[in-house]
Structure 1
């Protein structure tokens, strides 16, 4: 849903807005909400909802009251109320959909305690805001150096300036509690601004920094995912994935959020599916489950005495045998129920043009190389004998 001015240039950045996707029209911002009620008019006598959703750096969004009755639309830069001073943000949603978003996020509708929008940002406000944004990388680097000098076990991952430049919020990750009182003093002295430290989790750090996942697409947490549900190793077990932490972990170091996407489908398929530790009692012997295919509804069993010979059974056949085993009845053998599975052979390499030799471009060796060598040796011997005869004579 990118805007027309954000086509990619040679350097990988958008040509129009030059902000890596955070354009003024809000058409290609991450976590953008489409206002599908914008073309509908309110009934007679209904006042428009006076709360507005405003987005700040990265994915931080807050709701503000439009007390001045400003005519705001998506993409407008506004000056909002802060604890001290004012902040600069972009309007991402207006109208009745803001009410829906506030209900979903369980935000309060109390007008007295809600923060306000002061005005539309002037050019001076935007210049100060951009100047502060340009200082963030330099200050983050300097703050990391100060933390290393103080030997603090923490990682400063991001810095966010307030719109008026009077305050900066430092986001950090740490495994344990960190005493950063001296760090705040040193940074306030070095930068001349008010400092706020805010600890975030590793998933939130990946959300703020962004990146490309192993699937080749931009991270879900930095584009559209808003809530982080807990992901356990059981999600990988249900989907029959190998428990390899290098493959299952994302850039945050935790299990990938996408492991939960298809989990419900697997759980529905496993409701009436025999478990992996199913045992079948037959007259020929005890059989164990070796492999399962949930979506093909097939299971592979082998006898305890012959583990190398597998027999393929369907889910219904296994349930039938289990029902007989519960009644203490044994079936004759697995061969009575086994089915033949036609495995299609995959062609790894196919010789299309007949050029399958790796040495086809090499120079061909001579056929009579051995004979030539023999003739050379004979000629050498003859010459030697002639020279000896001439000396003796």
Structure 2
């Protein structure tokens, strides 16, 4: 199996004993290469942060993954690393979400990061997705290890959109036989909606009943 360091894998065949031995040796070489590169970056005070080092199985190239706020001129760094490590060098700048994918970790759900286990691509995530799923807008609750909005906010968003299609949003007024009230909240798991009606109090009814009464 080959991995480019950002979660994209391609399985060629089962590794033979020699390849397994080589892979183990590469892990040790990667640690040394990481330390060397990290120390040079610190000594030269370069505006970049090294994330990971990866050797290709055949040791034809070493890839150094890093993050930086701006474009970095690393040509001299590449020359020094190539001379010290005696291998072809590739510097690959990645984003903050890719960094979490490379390093891995545990999310607020207690499970391993989705991006480092099964996600192949990052979908665009917005606060609107959290709002429409009745998620509490607490940054510590809706942010992942990368500091960005949780990728899982995208998983069921389409289903929530379908469930709310044609329905008034929370805070909107609706006219019912019991009176005019405001939609307080939806409970899509129970299939209900709660509406505050002055002089009547909160009224909880099924979403299907609300649809019928709004026709």
1:75 corresponding residue in structure 2: 14
Cα displacement (A) at 1:182: 2.5
Residues 116-265 of structure 1 mapped to structure 2, 5 A cutoff: 123=18, 127-265=21-159
Using structure 1 for the length normalisation, give the TM-score. Answer: 0.47
Contact in 2 for aligned 1:289/1:301 (Cα 8 Å): yes
Q: Secondary structure at the match of 1:172?
A: strand
Cα displacement (A) at 1:313: 4.5
1:311 corresponding residue in structure 2: 202
Whether 1:55 aligns to 2:2 is yes
User: Structure 2: how far apart are the matches of 1:141 and 1:320?
Assistant: 66
1:348 corresponding residue in structure 2: none
Q: Secondary structure at the match of 2:78?
A: helix
1:383 corresponding residue in structure 2: none
Contact in 1 for aligned 2:50/2:65 (Cα 8 Å): yes
- Kindly indicate whether structure 1 or structure 2 has the higher relative contact order, using CA contacts under 8 Å at least 6 residues apart: 2
1:274 corresponding residue in structure 2: 168
1:300 corresponding residue in structure 2: 195
Greater helix share, 1 or 2? 2
**Gap regions ≥5 residues in structure 1:** 1-53, 65-73, 78-121, 324-393
Contact in 1 for aligned 2:179/2:197 (Cα 8 Å): no
Per-residue CA distance 1:243-277 (angstroms, 9 max, x = gap):
22221111122211111122122112101322223
Cα displacement (A) at 1:161: 1.0
User: Structure 1: how far apart are the matches of 2:26 and 2:211?
Assistant: 67
Q: Cα gap change, 1:220/1:317 in structure 2, threshold over 3 Å: closer, same or farther?
A: closer
User: Structure 2: how far apart are the matches of 1:166 and 1:285?
Assistant: 75
Aligned residues: 211
Q: Which has the larger radius of gyration?
A: 1
Q: Cα gap change, 1:281/1:261 in structure 2, threshold over 3 Å: closer, same or farther?
A: closer
Per-residue CA distance 1:91-135 (angstroms, 9 max, x = gap):
xxxxxxxxxxxxxxxxxxxxxxxxxxxxxxx73x65444323212
User: Structure 1: how far apart are the matches of 2:70 and 2:4?
Assistant: 27
User: Structure 1: how far apart are the matches of 2:204 and 2:23?
Assistant: 67
User: Structure 2: how far apart are the matches of 1:279 and 1:136?
Assistant: 61
Considering only aligned residues, what root-mean-square deviation do their CA atoms show, in Å? 3.0
Greater strand share, 1 or 2? 2
Q: Secondary structure at the match of 2:166?
A: coil
Cα displacement (A) at 1:322: 5.6
